[in-house]
Chain A
């Protein structure tokens, strides 16, 4: 962890427990404003986004600020990237300005992993291509744990464009470490059979009803048309067969949690009735994103977490 956070796959259950429990400390009590901390005072974080993002970038910005760090956000358009600078040079240039960590989103799978071999600065992966989005999986787990005792033995349906989803991969890696049962569901062309072998506890189905039956959690994925080399399913058929609608909810377990990493496409993968219903935890996910990213930034940047914990309690 000290080296940064590149993905969930390489983490142990203990690593994840530490972040999840620490993020609980950072969640504000109901109806109270967020607190500001000085834990990362004097630290500088660069938020480097090579791909459009509003929520993740903002969430990291707020998380860093609430911990007392300076954060500078850079988006690829308008930067040296458009002048033909290579990724390594961009990062080396930023590295020469001595930030304490770089939060990075990039459209290429493995871009942060590749850079971490050459850069001494810790990198937090804020999403790499179709590979991983570790803080999303952590905030999803936090959101589930706010409503359930544990992740063990839960039945979790993940529905949508699984093949191109970094959210799905990170969630599969995380949930499987806790022995959850996952049903991945999507159109056949977006559901490679090899997914069954990437982690224990994964089932696949192209039938949405089958996926939802008995589910404790339904995670809907955004249809990522921009990540596809072709259009594997006619757009108008998508909502009919893979859009989450009120009639699906009764198939799931009582008190099923409906989640979505956002931004949601109403009427494409989720109906407004479901998105805005009592079952929906979508806005809680957004809120938890800040607490989880605070925990991640702290674990990457704060030298002695135990001491910090005392400081937090004292406040």
Chain B
């Protein structure tokens, strides 16, 4: 007897098939079977999605799961549960664990732990350089065979341009993108927040926008030189958005992602010296915030990714300049993107869904982000309008570092289905 689930009466939005209509979705044995009106659900489970949006499973191409090495902050299991609670069916974990994911051994450890404990799909990203130290290349080819979907030294930008060039050549030959955390370390040295009126007012050392811009410029030129696929992580500066748009107009394989906090908050929105507002890149000026939102609307920026970065409370309970960078973000991504981009009419529902599905899947060449029959039945069901308040203390994540605790939202994830199984669902909608 096969396992069957029919999602009834949802508004099915799948950019990969140019689909936007109220339909039923039939899932059988973990695979998508059929999308059609009035599917007979007899003999299986049903999910009533009336008034909700049914989309391909959302992908977060940038998270930190902290395992191995920092299991006190997050584990593959707890992070995957937070992902499911945010409506994500697939997540890509950055290599800055301990040890760093710079070898097939670590890659295999992560995929094995994920196979046993994760409730969503986990795709590891391998390091560019050994120990992400920026000095010699990591075992990129063997990691690729072990399952990495991209390379990045996220958090530790590769300052040596020659090394980036070589890494791009490998990445190209392996058909994976190189993802750069764009930050010139000499320009950002000692900085704790965006350099501007606010940093001068608060007496905090600034991180100028140029520290991102010069790296994006350098890497785009290297992408042209090598023909590699190059992806800008957590883009935050207006100039960088313009440069990515320019690179695209030249036909280069350059893509970018933005985090919800970079289009939802500006430096002036931060609570003074509250480390829940401290991240890299930092919250920028309002004109950058606008540029990020407009970049996502125009397609200059391809995808939304959270940069989910768990840190336990005691690390964040310090002098601002001593606190680590980063905030958690898996559960607030859909509602913040609805709030800032969809509800004000900056993006259509189709574009909204594509930023979380088709686009990241394309960047990483994943066979995900679609509801085409035969594909794995990863489905995200979300609602556009019901009001709710985010309570971080109910988060399955092991960390609580977010500036969005207590924020009132309109709309969010309702259910997360991975390979035909409902792994999370909201009980009050």
CB distance from A226 to the nearest CB of B (A): 13
Give the complex CA separation of A169 and B199 in angstroms: 12
The tally of residues in B whose CB lies under 8 Å from a CB in A reads: 23
**Does B189 sit within 8 A of A, measured CB to CB?**
yes
Among the stretches B8-16, B76-84, B317-325, the one at the interface with A is B317-325
**A109 and B317 in contact (CB under 8 A), knowing A114-B273, A197-B197, A229-B189?**
no
Is B319 within 8 A of A108, CB to CB?
A: yes
Cross-chain pairs A/B with CB under 8 angstroms, 27 sampled:
A9-B201, A86-B314, A86-B318, A88-B318, A108-B320, A108-B321, A108-B322, A109-B202, A109-B203, A109-B204, A109-B273, A109-B321, A110-B204, A110-B273, A111-B319, A114-B274, A114-B319, A114-B320, A130-B203, A130-B205, A131-B203, A163-B200, A166-B203, A169-B203, A194-B199, A198-B200, A229-B190
Looking across the interface, which residue of chain A has its beta carbon closest to that of B191? A229
Residues on A with C-beta less than 8 A from B320 are: 108-111, 114
Residues on A with C-beta less than 8 A from B201 are: 9, 169, 194, 198
| Contacts from B to A (Cβ < 8 Å) | 189-190, 195-197, 199-206, 272-274, 314, 317-322
CB distance from B266 to the nearest CB of A (A): 15
Is A129 within 8 A of B203, CB to CB?
A: yes
Residues on A with C-beta less than 8 A from B195 are: 192
**A131 and B319 in contact (CB under 8 A), knowing A109-B273, A110-B272, A194-B196?**
no
CB distance from A263 to the nearest CB of B (A): 21
Give the complex CA separation of A106 and B322 in angstroms: 13
**Does A264 sit within 8 A of B, measured CB to CB?**
no
Contact with B along A12-39 (1 / 0, CB 8 A): 0000000000000000000000000000
Contact with B along A117-143 (1 / 0, CB 8 A): 000000000001111100000000000
Give the complex CA separation of A239 and B205 in angstroms: 25
Is B197 within 8 A of A113, CB to CB?
A: no
**A128 and B203 in contact (CB under 8 A), knowing A109-B273, A194-B197, A229-B189?**
yes
Give the complex CA separation of A88 and B196 in angstroms: 29
Report A56-100 residues with CB < 8 Å from chain B CB.
86-88
Is A113 within 8 A of B318, CB to CB?
A: no
Residues on A with C-beta less than 8 A from B200 are: 163, 192, 194-195, 197-198
CB distance from B91 to the nearest CB of A (A): 32
| Contacts from A to B (Cβ < 8 Å) | 9, 86-88, 106, 108-111, 113-114, 128-132, 163, 166, 169, 192, 194-195, 197-198, 229
Looking across the interface, which residue of chain B has its beta carbon closest to that of A199? B201
Residues on A with C-beta less than 8 A from B319 are: 87, 106, 108, 110-111, 114
Is B273 within 8 A of A113, CB to CB?
A: yes
Besides A106-B319, A110-B319, A192-B206, 14 other A-B contacts (C-beta < 8 A): A86-B314, A87-B318, A109-B273, A110-B273, A111-B273, A113-B272, A114-B273, A114-B274, A114-B320, A129-B203, A130-B205, A163-B200, A194-B201, A197-B200
CB distance from A94 to the nearest CB of B (A): 16
Is A132 within 8 A of B203, CB to CB?
A: yes
Looking across the interface, which residue of chain A has its beta carbon closest to that of B201? A198
CB distance from A102 to the nearest CB of B (A): 15
Is A110 within 8 A of B189, CB to CB?
A: no
Residues on A with C-beta less than 8 A from B273 are: 109-111, 113-114
Residues on B with C-beta less than 8 A from A87 are: 318-319
Residues on B with C-beta less than 8 A from A169 are: 201, 203
Residues on A with C-beta less than 8 A from B189 are: 229
Give the complex CA separation of A130 and B273 in angstroms: 13
CB distance from B285 to the nearest CB of A (A): 10
CB distance from B349 to the nearest CB of A (A): 40
CB distance from A26 to the nearest CB of B (A): 29
- Interface centre among B195, B319, B321, by most A CB within 10 Å? B319
CB distance from B317 to the nearest CB of A (A): 6
Looking across the interface, which residue of chain B has its beta carbon closest to that of A116? B273
Residues on B with C-beta less than 8 A from A197 are: 197, 200
Looking across the interface, which residue of chain A has its beta carbon closest to that of B200? A194
Give the complex CA separation of A9 and B273 in angstroms: 15
CB distance from A197 to the nearest CB of B (A): 5
Residues on A with C-beta less than 8 A from B197 are: 194, 197-198
Looking across the interface, which residue of chain B has its beta carbon closest to that of A228? B190
The 4 A-B residue pairs whose C-beta atoms are closest, nearest first, are A131-B203, A110-B273, A108-B319, A109-B203
Please tell me which one of the listed residues A86, A113, A131 contacts residue B317 in the complex, with CB atoms under 8 A apart. A86
